[in-house]
Structure 1
Amino acid sequence: MNKTLSEQQKSWLILAVLWLALLILASLRPFAVPDEGRYGEIGRWMLVSGDWLTPRLNGIPFFHKPPYLYWLEAISVAIFGVSELALRLVPALHAGLMLSALYLAARRISTERIARRAVIMLGSSLGFLVGGQYINHDMLVASWIGVAIWCFAFAFMAGDKPNPGLARLGFVACALGMLSKGLIGLALPGLVILVWLIWTRQLKKILHFPWLSGLALFLAIALPWFVLAQRTYPEFFNYMFIGQQLNRYTAAVYNNPQPVWFYVLALALLLFPWMFFAFNQMRRVTATTLASEVSMTDTWWKLCWSWLLVILVFFSIPNSKLVGYILPVVPPLALLASMGWQRAMAHRAASGKIFAGICLVNGVIALGIVLKVGDVTRASRTQDLAQVLACAAQPSDTVYVSDAFPYDLPLYAQTIQPMVVLNDWPMLRQQAGDGWQRELFEGADFDAHAAQVLQPLSVLAQVAHTPGHWFAGRSGSTLVSNQPGWTLYFKGAGWDLYRSGGGTAEVSAAKSPEPAQHKGLPGCKQQR
């Protein structure tokens, strides 16, 4: 019996190894704040609260993004428990989907060698090894945008009339993309395909597209949650689509302003150094040239460049830019880079060793980033504080915060009730920028009961002498340090924990409370 692996089996094995490496890296670092703390906690809270309709941050509605990420996080936590890996499994699965879709498409439109190399280039990149495990919406929507574009493109390339099955699958991918991050899940695949059809003179094929059945599938999957949310919260549509999507795209008042060339640099880092080999594919080439060198027709070459340039231009227009936004273009860029390597390097005797060396260097860089990031961000996180709080507090105790918002504290401690956030909220409504305070008070406008966790600073004095209250503040905070009744309980790397009632000695990091003394919070179980 011949047990030799086929070329396709080798490719799938390599893909599986790359995804396994991603999971290993995902388990080696603490939650990053604010993003991973925010989005991971919303998913955990969805499971704890049992409210699968309304994403909530600290018990307050959070309608910046649709709920697809949170649904999957809640399911993962229900199965595997609360951990970094359980929550990162959601973006990691979608990174695997992106990699698999690239391989399946590339081997159809080019050769097995080109497809496998493209997979290795993408799978060994920082965009995959680091971005593919980061807890936010970017990898989810990027993967579904990619699936939608591949499905629509293959549907149109099936003949004079598009393949209806592939077209409908593309609409399903658009629906999941919209549930991932909103309108771009539909708009970007549609815009890419439209530009490509015009460029390749296939526009007349849209007359035979299965619009009715495709849109029906799209609406059946994407619409119900939006309709239910609007019925429950009458201002929902205006807030999500106008405030969080249109205004964030067109306005210049939001965080992270960057120059127009920002995403060119971002792609150079995300797909380093492979992106530079894509330059070999920038010039217009004939179908004959492509066929002789990389076995890909001019029509597919134009799809890759339409995909890359349309989305690059789309995200370069707004003033506010984040690296993860550009992830939807890494599949076609990896394919172009694979073809560029074929032209520039494949004929060289040492090309295999050079290729393996670059992959190894990328892996070492990714591992270094993952192992070092915890030390670099130690003072901004509350992991040490959460470990103490989880074993010292009772489930009925109340945690107060004020001068900063500890996104990862409820996630690590696994609190079962929201924290009380203290501030001058009427003043902040007039002055707060695009930060955590605005996230909370805008969300509170949707739910008057949930808004009760936003309280004035005077509450600290009122509860100071009553046991069962805790205050978490950044190191050096003077809000409670000089108030009678509040005692420093634990001094962490960047945050301090105070307990009400007085008379408690400080606990050091080396001598935390004994977990078995009382029930504690659910997060204490992981330390026993």
Structure 2
Amino acid sequence: MKKRYVLLIVPFLLYVALLGVLPQMEPDEVRYSLIAGEMNETGNYVTPRIKNTIYLEKPPLVSWATAASFKIFGENDFSARLFSGLCAWGCILLVFWIGRRFRDERTGLYAAAVLTISAFPFVLGRINILDMPLTLFLCLAVWLGYLSVAGEKNRWFSYGFYFACALAFLTKGIVGVVFPFAILGIWLVWERRWRSLPRLISPVGILIFLAAVCPWLYLAQKENPDFLWFFFVREHFLRFTTQMHGKTEPFYYFLPVLIGGTLPWSVFLIRAWQPAKWKEAFFRKEGNRFLAVWFLFIFLFYTVSSSKLVTYIAPVFLPLALFAGNIFCSYEEAPTEPAGKRGALYRLLLWVQFLVIVAAMLLPPVLKQYHDPSLGLVIMISDACWWIYVLPVFAAAGLMAFIPDWTARQKGTGWFLSVYLLCCLLLAGLLFPLNDFLSPYRSALVAKEAIARHVPQGKLLYQYRVNFYGIDFYNKIRTPIVEDFGEMGDGIAKLPEAERKTYFLSRQDFFEKVRQKKEIYCITQHEARLRELRAQFARMDILWENGAFYLLRIRHEGKGWKPYEDS
């Protein structure tokens, strides 16, 4: 494989050029876009705000980068995701660097290719959230820390280690500092390199770290007297030691995430794995232990943590790609056909993967107009476009089942290259049906034109028991929220009373507001909430709906209203 394709051209196409295919999804993506937009609007880059409420749960580095992207490219889906996409690209380059250092350039290319076609980083690298930037900076810190204690005589590796820790801290907090030091410390103990432990501590490095993070900490505390307790105690210590955030999951939660995140290439690993040459599939002992500690520490930490989210284990996919890339590289040096049970399992899983992909593409048309409010799921797809969108997916999935093996038999080379290219085609092709599937109910972009057309200029648009940040982002308005405040609760409490009563209402307050104003525009989601409103108001016009969103005009004429009673 040629370096420029694996490291430059394909990552650019997958992780940058296609960023705007899907609109931003609720709620996380648009939350960070709205924060960045408000930073540019207010000129305050110290205290993040969302809907004018203080939001100090996370540090501001990603918001700063997104705000800069908005300044350059305007506020749109592409510019909102650009920093995350570039960080995913950075992870690919980092994996190449590590693979080349541990073995050779060819191994680095294979490892970079594996990470490029892994479903987990492919998805995460096109979402405007914190986890892909954190993954880049945290993993860069781990690697630079390794180089600084692994016999390299260049002190700049140590300085870079501390600076990368600072960037990771400014992305998502103290995890960006604790994890690199913990991984490197455990690895050095395992290697019995006790004398190298003090080399992790660098006075100059500490000064670099403090110079990078302290200005924001100082200014944030100056503007918000409760910041340090809120940020360090509640959002770090209590988040991972208690269930206060309600993100509890079973201990095996990350296992299916790990398996699914390595698709579609992981099926081909069965062919590439050669038990007779298992020693060649790994790096030298030092490298194996380092990558193993990197992977296991992060995976086990979040497994036992009280707080679990899918995105938390993103940094484990880099060492995983290095191991897998080395296996693929070793296999291609002397490829053989898998025989016996291994060959049967390989062929079975190839076709199982193909059938699962086909079934996933056929299911939405079968379940069209399916609603499940408990899951927040509404299936609405376009009949004509859907089949156009899924044809490249069917083609890529079908070709993956026989083209790589046919290439190996006919030419003796090019097996992994065909795997790589077909996986790229599959992942890129999936974006278009995903857009058709997710956008109608997970993105507020679908309501943008209807809101502009039906809601008079200057009229407030209320969000009834929903909170779609995208309505504010795409329509450039501020919408009052009725009873779905989410993570804004702490910031709302700090607002002036008049602003709270205007923009953050209980249901009772909202119903009173309708009675006082006589006419109100609002948007909501799911028929159950629509029925709630019908039960309160006799005159309610549906101005626009798509089966998931409902844009309403509610009128009150002194009758047909009763005080709300919470059941």
Give yes or no for TM over 0.5.
Answer: yes
1:399 touches 1:470 (CA, 8 Å); kept in 2?
yes
Q: Distance in 2 between matches of 1:208 and 1:22?
A: 37
1:404 to 439, 450, 466: 466
Question: 2:106 corresponds to which residue?
Answer: 113
Q: Distance in 2 between matches of 1:399 and 1:313?
A: 46
CA displacement 1:45-88 (0-9 Å, x = unmatched): 22223221222222211222111111111111121112211111
Distance 1:208 1:439, change over 3 A: closer
Distance 1:468 1:397, change over 3 A: farther
Question: 2:242 corresponds to which residue?
Answer: 251
Q: Are residues 1:455 and 2:505 paired?
A: yes
2:254 to 253, 260, 263: 263
Q: Distance in 2 between matches of 1:126 and 1:396?
A: 44
1:261 touches 1:316 (CA, 8 Å); kept in 2?
yes
Counterpart amino acid of 1:322? L
2:117 touches 2:264 (CA, 8 Å); kept in 1?
no
The secondary structure found in structure 1 opposite 2:544 is strand
Counterpart amino acid of 1:389? I
2:146 touches 2:184 (CA, 8 Å); kept in 1?
yes
Q: Are residues 1:147 and 2:140 paired?
A: yes
Q: Distance in 2 between matches of 1:324 and 1:463?
A: 41
1:126 touches 1:362 (CA, 8 Å); kept in 2?
no
Q: Distance in 2 between matches of 1:395 and 1:264?
A: 50
Question: 2:551 corresponds to which residue?
Answer: 497
Q: Following TM superposition, by how much is the alpha carbon of 1:480 offset from its aligned partner in structure 2, in angstroms? A: 4.9
Q: Following TM superposition, by how much is the alpha carbon of 1:104 offset from its aligned partner in structure 2, in angstroms? A: 1.9
Q: Distance in 1 between matches of 2:525 and 2:257?
A: 32
Distance 1:376 1:320, change over 3 A: farther
1:471 touches 1:497 (CA, 8 Å); kept in 2?
yes
The secondary structure found in structure 2 opposite 1:31 is coil
2:281 touches 2:323 (CA, 8 Å); kept in 1?
no
Q: Distance in 1 between matches of 2:77 and 2:87?
A: 16
Question: 2:177 corresponds to which residue?
Answer: 186
Q: Following TM superposition, by how much is the alpha carbon of 1:459 offset from its aligned partner in structure 2, in angstroms? A: 4.2
User: 5 Å matches for 1:294-333?
Assistant: 296-333=283-320
Q: Distance in 1 between matches of 2:218 and 2:532?
A: 43
Question: 2:194 corresponds to which residue?
Answer: 203
Give the share of equivalent positions with the same residue, in percent.
22
Question: 1:355 corresponds to which residue?
Answer: 416
Distance 1:50 1:460, change over 3 A: farther
Q: Distance in 2 between matches of 1:90 and 1:210?
A: 31
CA displacement 1:476-500 (0-9 Å, x = unmatched): 3246556377643222331122346
The secondary structure found in structure 1 opposite 2:522 is strand
1:441 touches 1:451 (CA, 8 Å); kept in 2?
no
2:117 touches 2:265 (CA, 8 Å); kept in 1?
no
2:493 to 442, 445, 448: 445
Q: Distance in 1 between matches of 2:189 and 2:119?
A: 34
Counterpart amino acid of 1:223? C
Q: Are residues 1:123 and 2:110 paired?
A: no
Deviates more, 1:55-64 or 1:477-486: 477-486
Q: Following TM superposition, by how much is the alpha carbon of 1:467 offset from its aligned partner in structure 2, in angstroms? A: 9.1
CA displacement 1:165-194 (0-9 Å, x = unmatched): 110111000001011011111011111100
Q: Distance in 2 between matches of 1:120 and 1:419?
A: 44
Q: Are residues 1:59 and 2:109 paired?
A: no
1:488 to 542, 546, 553: 542
Paired positions, count: 473
Q: Distance in 2 between matches of 1:89 and 1:184?
A: 24
Distance 1:468 1:333, change over 3 A: same
Q: Following TM superposition, by how much is the alpha carbon of 1:393 offset from its aligned partner in structure 2, in angstroms? A: 4.4
Counterpart amino acid of 1:122? L
The secondary structure found in structure 2 opposite 1:133 is coil
Question: 1:367 corresponds to which residue?
Answer: 428
The secondary structure found in structure 2 opposite 1:29 is coil
Q: Distance in 2 between matches of 1:214 and 1:186?
A: 12
CA displacement 1:1-24 (0-9 Å, x = unmatched): xxxxxx8xx314421123222223
The secondary structure found in structure 1 opposite 2:552 is strand
Q: Distance in 2 between matches of 1:484 and 1:499?
A: 11
Deviates more, 1:465-474 or 1:333-342: 465-474
Distance 1:65 1:190, change over 3 A: same
CA displacement 1:309-335 (0-9 Å, x = unmatched): 111111111133222111111111111
Counterpart amino acid of 1:474? Q
Q: Distance in 2 between matches of 1:227 and 1:281?
A: 53
Q: Distance in 2 between matches of 1:364 and 1:323?
A: 25
CA displacement 1:416-468 (0-9 Å, x = unmatched): xx321234xxxxxxxxxxxx534122222344466452234434543567599
1:307 touches 1:329 (CA, 8 Å); kept in 2?
yes
2:282 touches 2:327 (CA, 8 Å); kept in 1?
no
1:278 touches 1:337 (CA, 8 Å); kept in 2?
no
Higher helix share: 2
1:471 to 496, 518, 522: 522
Q: Following TM superposition, by how much is the alpha carbon of 1:347 offset from its aligned partner in structure 2, in angstroms? A: 1.0
1:175 touches 1:218 (CA, 8 Å); kept in 2?
yes
Counterpart amino acid of 2:133? L
Q: Distance in 2 between matches of 1:281 and 1:221?
A: 45
Q: Distance in 1 between matches of 2:316 and 2:88?
A: 13
User: 5 Å matches for 1:135-174?
Assistant: 135-159=128-152, 163-174=154-165
1:465 touches 1:500 (CA, 8 Å); kept in 2?
no
Distance 1:438 1:209, change over 3 A: closer
Distance 1:257 1:44, change over 3 A: same
Question: 1:419 corresponds to which residue?
Answer: 479
